[in-house]
Structure 1
Amino acid sequence: MSTAIRQLQKHFVGEVSGLDLRKPLTSEQVREIQAAIDRHAVLVFRDQDITDEQQLAFALNFGERENARGGTVTRKEDYRLTSGLNDVSNLGKDGKPLPKDHRTHLFNLGNCLWHSDSSFRAIPAKYSLLSARVVNPKGGNTEFADMRAAYDALDEETKAEIEDLICEHSLMYSRGSLGFVDYSEEEKAMFKPVLQRLVRTHPAHGRKSLYLSSHAGAVVGMSVPEGRLLLRDLTEHATQPEFVYVHKWKLHDLVMWDNRQTIHRVRRYDQSQPRDMRRATVAGTEPTVQQQAAE
């Protein structure tokens, strides 16, 4: 069976059929998927009952695995997964849902805000590949917004205004907006803000896109209130239904997305029930802007 791709939303998102991700890809298949992710920005693969090792092997066709250090408040000795995947579940090491007052649970609620994975790193992530191992019975959809189409829809005056703006990104900004402000000194150092361009140009096709995220909490050269208002206005614009795809998870779905062209968020769900989602993250290769101390 040959590979086929069906577009699911007006601007982006392709549903891929004809591939078994448990098996190694041919060089031709890798090229097809690479071209598809460049074009569609989000790819949906159904019925992929894969292991952690198979998921990571698939991801490594498209770059190196990102070092996960610095993206969580969970202590290493409390990690549930040891395979190299990011744990995007609501589960503790014992496999049970975390208590509602658990620090890791409260921190992870930030995933319900619109964001781009690892924009809080000096070199942000390229691709994310999320596999649904246990689907929550209520809620938990993931929404994606096309940042290319959102940029294209801006008026020329706004495009000129934001073209060269630089933002500060940190996990402390996104979590702080939900009231999570309790950090150790080590965590404060680990989550120190980094600089990112507000407008990015994709290396494969040259389209410009907005680089927005709840991790962005300041715009260089603006007062904090002024910068945050601009970022809020742009996010409201970029997440209109016109630019959004809602993914309703089914067991063994795998969704791959390009963090350089999209933002996403998970919707609220029943935290008393297990939700086991595992993410392979492909590292970016260069910063969006020369890094300086973001004070």
Structure 2
Amino acid sequence: MDIEIKELEHRYQVHSPFERLALYDVNITVKEGTYLAIIGHTGSGKSTLLQHLNGLLKPTRGTVKIGDYLIKAGKKQKDLKAIRKHVGIVFQFPEHQLFEETVEKDIAFGPINFGVSREEAKQKVREALASVGLSENILEKSPFELSGGQMRRVAIAGVLAMEPEILILDEPTAGLDPKGRSEIMDLFYQLHKERNGTTILVTHSMEDAAKYADEIAVMHEGTMKLRGTPQEIFQSVEELHSFGLDLPQTLRFQHELERTLQVKLEKLSLTADDIVEQMKKLMYVGEKS
């Protein structure tokens, strides 16, 4: 299921003294199976953009096409429920949206709401729970009895139980410690590979964008400024700095290493594995000489 956005514009509080332009002239096509990271400074329009992908916000101009479904400015939308079945969103602090009395009921709520039988929903609950690494022995517990990390995984399972073809992640690791963040991001990456779906990650973390994404889009002041592979995007150092964005830590380390040793490494080091591999090569060359 491809995503195609054309000339998207969004204004908040239209025809009021508080009218504000949040997005303008956004054009992007995301092919099925892509892992896209959207980065940008606070207020750049990232979250406003993603809320158009399942109809939480409507365009004031332009179109958003999800597969065969079209969301168009000025047109009454009749198929939003169908769109939302295909597009799942994991918001910041998703555990704040837990509300049912048991874990099982909370995860099953979405599938049942979309017309799945209770028996089938129970099966989806168990599959989703396993996919986030939780045991079935918590099914009858209140979600509010769980640890913070478990609550977040239950909330994520509730989105996965609807089996969305497109998974939207809006800063999904907010508030987690480094270990928890790494576990959750690895979980999403594994699910992306297993399900062969489309993943769109909105993040402030240059490290996560560099490590997981096939492509990166850069938002700035309401529009899309850059798009390319991680290697292409993080070569644009001056442009990124002009947008208030930094480089991944490994790349900053590489630049410092190159300045100190007055050498040029073969490629950009976007992950810890990359920089280790290149340092081994550098040491090998040094030993030979």
Q: Which has the larger radius of gyration?
A: 2
Larger helix share, 1 or 2: 2
> Does 1 or 2 have the higher relative contact order (CA < 8 Å, sep 6+)?
1
What is the TM-score of this pair, normalised by structure 2?
Answer: 0.24
